[in-house]
Structure 1
Amino acid sequence: MSRTEPDLLYSEEEEALRAAVRDLLTDHCDPAGVIARAESDTPHDRALWKSLAEAMGLAGLLVPEELGGQGASHREVAVVLEELGRSVAPVPYLASAVVATEALLECGDRELLGRLASGRTVGVLAVGLHLAPGDALPAVRLEDGRLHGEVTGVADAAAADVLLVPAQDGGLYAVEADAVTVTPQTSLDLTRPLATVTLTGAEGRRLGDTEPAVRRALRSAAGLLTSEQLGLADWALTETVRYLKERKQFNRPVGGFQALKHRLAQLWLEVVSLRAAARAAADALTTGEDTDLTVAVAQSYAGPVAVHAAEEALQLHGGIGMTWEHPVHLCLKRAKADSIAHGTSGAHRAAVAGLVDLQAP
């Protein structure tokens, strides 16, 4: 059977979705507001989440219509994540609308899926943000029907209404957030805070088997994270080009100097290649063709490119780029954090080698 060629172009519907999300973020997620929120005790923007998830229905893109969702595909979710990445939006979209939703789709839990699709409930899979698809999972103990244990490095746990907790009996359990203790951890990216989740005799409802649910969730997370990284890199490149056109030295735009042109040209090539990789990953998740390999290839490339783009943006903005007031530091911190989220580029390169049976020399 011949393989269908992936469609890397954006459809008219996807471009319309992008425009709507960008307009909302332009109005309600300005850099100054994100910086101020990152310094506060409430980094998550609940009002923005309500607009995205409830008003626009974006929390339920992956959920079938008969369960209260939009019945869309991973391609539409990828477009949303590109825009959220451009704004470094402090909302738990990846955690709830992708990771937790994918785990619930595998388990087939209609009640929780409907709650998450509505946007009124935020779900978080209680595993460390660093875990890649296929990694061994830490699991809490199940004693006398109650859950005991601790999970560290859980992203957006502070925003969760319900947590999906893997247990040692091989089951995945739904636990209400008020039944656990969430302790904030110091994290580089303050817009996606990490926390330790502690369970001391918490009651949970068994949803299904852990292994297939978490494998599906983390694979989708890794694949769609590349779209967020694409949004970060594209914003960094665009803003840097704009600044270098305006900034003048010796009575000419700084961007006219050949050395800077070469750096920008190299960065442009990397971002264009990242767009192809991210679109391929989203398409593979949608079609189910060569998904593991395509996701691993995309993630092995995305992290270094996003970090490089953010570093170049900071350096080429000169002195202003080093200030707290300029949003480039938000981009750099998110890019750095994303580079180890759901597997490092090295881990994904190792996965690629295993998938294509490429032995080390």
Structure 2
Amino acid sequence: MPEDRGGQGASAREAALVLGELGRTAAPVPFLTSSVIATTALLDSDSTLLEQLAAGERVAALAVPWSTAPDAELPAVRLAGGRLTGTITSVAGVIEADVLLVAAGSGVYAVDVSALIVTPRVCLDMTRQLADVTLDGVSGSLVLADAGPAVRRALGSGAALMASEQLGLARWCLETTVAYLKVRTQFGRVLGGFQALKHRLADLYADVESGAAAARYAAATMAAGDPDATVATSIAQAYNSDLAVHAAEEAVQLHGGTGMTWEHPAHLYLKRAKADRLALGTPGRHRAHLGALVGLGV
């Protein structure tokens, strides 16, 4: 958020660091959906809503299904007589938000969430709830005239920076599992002393470091406005989505019976990783997009 709009002048690099820590704790907060995606959509807007988001006075969400990739088709919302009509399924962040950004016609409209019909979904990930949103002839204020580029830039930023959240999740899983295996004993030995487990953890460590490189590069290209940002985003998303799931599965399995219990937080990380794997484009979608970008075909 630029300083002249009420922000701190930070870039995608700093936002990536924040998301890494939020991923490490599987924090149930709308930072990604409001402070990154919705805010990025409004950067070219002269609406006072941007300043209100910067001040923490309001929380916003973008009205797209959480699975929407940056290059995917956007949901159709009908605009007639200044009123919006339509249904958007599986929207992330709308339960915590008080304003919804809706792309309709050629513009983006801000709609008060209290005027909507919000139906929570039963979600695998309990730390990031989804809901279906129905607009039944509600009015909204135009905050941006050109919806297409703004919404796609917002989704691209979300996909690039979610890789850092997934990295933080994977790091927690690795570090927590290593710490557990250093103290848990079985057959008269510390579990971390078994060679087969050492190999698995060494492989996971290498994967996490590779994921860190991908996530940091994606954030760096976003911060610099580098033309390589779309390539870096697809690389980071395709890699870190699978990395987070693999790290969480290893954490659950290597914690043994403890990892299978609700009392241990490992299941929260596995559910977040599984849900994020479908968010803002699946790994397969990003790989196909990456292939087209670098001329490999699909």
Once the two structures are superposed, residues 32-61 of structure 1 have per-residue CA deviations (whole angstroms, 9 ceiling, x without a partner) of xxxxxxxxxxxxxxxxxxxxxxxxxxxxxx
Amino acid at match of 1:159: E
Give the 5 Å matches for 1:118-133: 118-133=55-70
The 2-side partners of 1:110 and 1:141 are apart by 22
Pick from 275, 284, 290: which aligns with 2:221? Answer: 284
2:112 match: 176
2:143 match: 207
Match of 1:158, SS state, is coil
The 2-side partners of 1:268 and 1:160 are apart by 37
Amino acid at match of 1:73: S
The 2-side partners of 1:215 and 1:251 are apart by 56
Where has structure 1 moved over 3 Å in runs of 4 or more?
A: none
Give the 5 Å matches for 1:49-88: 63-88=1-26
The 2-side partners of 1:231 and 1:76 are apart by 14
Give the 5 Å matches for 1:128-139: 128-139=65-76
The 1-side partners of 2:151 and 2:2 are apart by 20
The 2-side partners of 1:190 and 1:183 are apart by 15
The 2-side partners of 1:317 and 1:228 are apart by 22
Match of 1:207, SS state, is strand
Per the TM alignment, residue 341 of structure 1 is displaced from its structure 2 partner at its CA by: 0.5
1:105 match: 43
Once the two structures are superposed, residues 255-297 of structure 1 have per-residue CA deviations (whole angstroms, 9 ceiling, x without a partner) of 1000000100110010000000000000010011111111111
Per the TM alignment, residue 251 of structure 1 is displaced from its structure 2 partner at its CA by: 2.3
The 2-side partners of 1:236 and 1:170 are apart by 43
Unaligned runs of at least 5 residues, structure 2: none
Higher relative contact order (CA 8 A, sep 6+): 2
Once the two structures are superposed, residues 94-146 of structure 1 have per-residue CA deviations (whole angstroms, 9 ceiling, x without a partner) of 0000000000003x234011010111200000101100111000121112111
Task: Please say if residues 109 and 207 of structure 1, whose CA atoms lie closer than 8 Å, have aligned partners that are also in contact.
Answer: yes
Match of 2:295, SS state, is coil
Pick from 288, 291, 294: which aligns with 1:350? Answer: 288
The 1-side partners of 2:257 and 2:55 are apart by 44
The 2-side partners of 1:64 and 1:145 are apart by 31
Task: Please say if residues 67 and 110 of structure 1, whose CA atoms lie closer than 8 Å, have aligned partners that are also in contact.
Answer: no
1:30 match: none
Pick from 183, 198, 204: which aligns with 1:246? Answer: 183
1:155 matched to 2:126? The reply is: no
| TM-score for the superposition, normalised by structure 1 | 0.81
Pick from 170, 192, 215: which aligns with 1:233? Answer: 170
Task: Please say if residues 123 and 164 of structure 1, whose CA atoms lie closer than 8 Å, have aligned partners that are also in contact.
Answer: yes
Give the 5 Å matches for 1:288-307: 288-289=225-226, 290-307=228-245
Q: How many residues align?
A: 296
The 1-side partners of 2:168 and 2:261 are apart by 22
The 2-side partners of 1:128 and 1:192 are apart by 13
Q: CA RMSD in A?
A: 0.8
Pick from 251, 256, 281: which aligns with 2:193? Answer: 256
Match of 1:105, SS state, is coil
The 2-side partners of 1:178 and 1:331 are apart by 31
Task: Please say if residues 60 and 93 of structure 2, whose CA atoms lie closer than 8 Å, have aligned partners that are also in contact.
Answer: no
The 1-side partners of 2:91 and 2:205 are apart by 33
Task: Please say if residues 66 and 280 of structure 2, whose CA atoms lie closer than 8 Å, have aligned partners that are also in contact.
Answer: yes
Amino acid at match of 2:188: N
Pick from 339, 343, 352: which aligns with 2:277? Answer: 339
1:27 match: none
**Identity, % of aligned pairs?**
58
Per the TM alignment, residue 76 of structure 1 is displaced from its structure 2 partner at its CA by: 0.3
The 2-side partners of 1:119 and 1:354 are apart by 39
| TM-score for the superposition, normalised by structure 2 | 0.98
Pick from 116, 128, 136: which aligns with 1:192? Answer: 128
Amino acid at match of 1:318: G
The 2-side partners of 1:110 and 1:170 are apart by 17
1:317 matched to 2:291? The reply is: no
The 2-side partners of 1:165 and 1:332 are apart by 31
Task: Please say if residues 64 and 75 of structure 2, whose CA atoms lie closer than 8 Å, have aligned partners that are also in contact.
Answer: yes
Per the TM alignment, residue 359 of structure 1 is displaced from its structure 2 partner at its CA by: 2.5
Unaligned runs of at least 5 residues, structure 1: 1-62
1:165 match: 102
1:38 match: none
